[in-house]
Chain A
């Protein structure tokens, strides 16, 4: 029963991982770009949610959409200003650029908000719900449900809308897509902005159960990367599944072994996937 509890706790955290990693997977899938600034955008989302709550009494559970929208615009801006210029360039340039964006965002946050840790305390975060012998923190459950709804709507959007089809088209083949009348530049920009918005919205959902400081995004950057590889590079559904798997793995590791080994297990998993199934769980083998 306790193991079941550990799995459920892992799932609750994993739902948020899924939303974060999905953004990274989308950007990678469409643009073949590993966004090293992903964790930094998550941090920006958390600060927006924090000030939304402290200044305007905006509950992050309502405000996450606004934060997502704000980050979407920010992502658009960053794309047109910077990222657009390294598309099709070497991986090295792309890594330098996104890492540079991350440094600017983190440094900027340190300058504006100092290195202090900030947290909000929602009454919800103190509530515990019981289901038989299992118990849940209500805030985790709400964050999880919203994250899962976001993941699902994202999936449906990709599957059934014209824009989603275009995004998948570009992901499948950047060269053939324009022949089908798809504006690759525009689609890339939208995808990048969507990816950034996912990180921002996840940040808003993470805030009530955690705290924020300028360097909070770093570990999530690495986790997302592990999840994206786990799910299959560029597979959005794979990232969602990978997020849940990583959350559960961490929960079980902390339960059966030690909390201090969760990061070790994360990266052993990462290496194992690269060795044994390089295309990831739901990824397709490279032609």
Chain B
């Protein structure tokens, strides 16, 4: 209560004297190493390109923009230390991050305590916004939106008679699994299996065997990359045949998933936040730039990082100074057209539509919603025994 009163007092009389000297830099927290490194790499590419473009266009407030990166090693406790390093030591007035929902959730109280704005590029778990704090903004669509879009898409293909939800036992997994549970109920799809797993187990066959016995028509996965690959391989191994494999994007939405799981990735459907075929102007050019420079097309995570830095640069320009309250208020008033669609924050959340993709011939194709589709969805998924 006391801290809240202090916070209110600070808002009224302005920031405390101690915190007035901020460096004109943006703090960035992401998983540049560790289990989520594949996503951190996507972030890194996005930030790099955004930074170069901003500085080629004259920088921010007359100076080249600078960012300070902090590697959270894919661990929530390390991510929190990142805030104290970036804000307390380096004195940045604004932070973007982290990658994983678990780490991002840990950042939230840390930035609120220090009264600096946090822009969340990628974390889908909806509890990262549960604080309803004016300091926290999110660019990506949340778990609830993704599950809703997936259920809506399933409806267009004929609602499955049953669904199994398989998710990792972390903030991200629980949020996405829970959202699907809610939306399945709304759409009247019985949930016949509800399985949480420990990420990084050497074998998921027993769990998948159990799912197989319930013979679900659809499966909804919420997994990071390494488990997404293991899960699809072992789904084939136990000969678990569903009519449709859906997922909350993430592990199932990365280019590395296609190479890691190979032909076992085929036909899997995932909620995506962006595709290079998106109708948002500049998407194709961004994708081509990334491909030319790093040899592979970007996943939506790179775009979220890219757009996040653009939003901050825009906000600082409008704020006219490197000062947390001014930047926060400027972010809240953001209205810009980006390759990630139009950006506008309502109750701290950017209003972003979800795309549904399917892996066809080793590539992601947009299959929904209808106005964005680049290919027809292929359903039902053929049984494993009939696949080459």
Contact = CB atoms under 8 A, between A and B. Distances in A.
A5 B195 contact: no
A135 B238 contact: yes
A171 B197 CA distance: 40
Given A9-B203, A135-B237, A140-B203, A255 B198 contact: no
Given A2-B209, A2-B212, A259-B207, A210 B202 contact: yes
Contacts of B201: 259, 262
Contact of A251 (B35, B206, B233, B239): B206
Contacts of B110: none
A254 to B, nearest CB: 4
Interface string B203-219: 11111011011000000
Interface string B130-160: 0000000000000000000000000000000
Interface in B165-218: 169, 195-198, 200-207, 209-210, 212-213
B196 A259 contact: yes
B203 A126 contact: no
A259 B35 contact: no
Contacts of A211: 226
A252 B206 contact: yes
Contacts of A119: 226
A21 interface: no
A256 B193 CA distance: 12
Interface in B231-264: 233-234, 236-239, 262
Contact of A2 (B213, B237, B262): B213
Contacts of A209: 202-203
A10 B213 CA distance: 18
B202 A10 contact: no
Interface residues of B, number: 31
Interface string B3-35: 000000000000000000000000000000111
In terms of DSSP, what is the predominant structure of the interface of chain B? mixed
Given A2-B212, A114-B33, A115-B73, A259 B195 contact: yes
Given A259-B196, A262-B198, A128 B204 contact: no
B304 interface: no
A9 B206 contact: yes
Given A115-B37, A260-B169, A262-B198, A255 B226 contact: no
Given A2-B209, A117-B37, A252-B206, A137 B237 contact: yes
B74 interface: yes
A206 interface: yes
Interface residues of A, number: 38
B37 A116 contact: yes
Contact of A13 (B203, B212, B226): B203
Given A116-B33, A255-B210, A135 B196 contact: no
B198 A115 contact: no
A260 B209 contact: no
Contacts of B33: 114-116
Contacts of B74: 115
A279 interface: no
A259 to B, nearest CB: 4
Given A211-B226, A259-B197, A206 B202 contact: yes
Nearest to B71: A115
Nearest to B234: A137
Contacts of B207: 254-255, 258-259
A254 B34 CA distance: 26
A76 interface: no
A156 to B, nearest CB: 28
Contacts of A260: 169, 196-198
B213 A258 contact: no
Interface string A208-252: 011101000001000000000000000000000000000000111
B5 to A, nearest CB: 40
Given A13-B202, A209-B202, A262-B201, A135 B239 contact: yes
Interface in B88-105: none
Contacts of A137: 205, 234, 237
Interface of A: 2, 5-6, 9-10, 12-13, 16, 114-117, 119, 125-126, 128, 135-137, 140, 206, 209-211, 213, 219, 250-256, 258-260, 262-263
Closest A-B pairs by Cβ, 6 of them:
A254-B206, A259-B197, A115-B33, A260-B196, A115-B34, A259-B207
13 contacts: A6-B209, A114-B33, A115-B34, A117-B37, A117-B226, A135-B237, A251-B206, A253-B206, A255-B207, A258-B207, A259-B195, A259-B196, A262-B201
